[in-house]
Amino acid sequence: MVSFKLNIATKEGKCYKAEVKDQNAAPLIGLNIGEKVDGNKLGLEGYELEVTGGMDYCGFPMRSGILGQRRKIVIYKSVGFKGALKGIKRRKTVCGHKVNDKISAINLKVLKEGSKKLSDLFGKAEESKEKAKEEKKEVKE
């Protein structure tokens, strides 16, 4: 049983979260970072998405150009290492660029929008967060 948490970023800078399981997750297995996905396969009609990254079940980030599931590499400031001073290198563990069953979260970017907006499809979670923020402000005042 495969399940992925999807982080879908829009051009406006908003991020929507969704979860896909079993048959809906099957089209994502085997994709590389940078490949395009048809939104119809994920239940988003008319959308075209691009895989931009993700992380595995232990929290190690996916990195393009890495073959295999996990690898320890020496890297400068980039994906997997925030960096410190100029020239500092660090040995870090990162995941490969291919989506497999060990991946838990996948980051996607919207390339082409469909007829319905993502805010309409995923709006319920966003509305509940806004209400919670308003309640916290009222309590503080």
pTM: 0.79
**One-letter identity of residue 39:** G
Q: Residue 130 is encoded by which pair of tokens?
A: 């806004």
Q: How many helices (H) and strands (E) does the chain have?
A: 1, 7
DSSP lists the bridge partners of residue 9 as 15, 109
Gap between the Cα atoms of 85 and 76, Å rounded: 10
Over residues 71-125, the pLDDT tens digits come to: 999 988 888 888 778 889 999 999 999 999 999 999 999 999 988 888 888 865 5
pLDDT class of 44 with cuts at 50, 70, 90:
confident
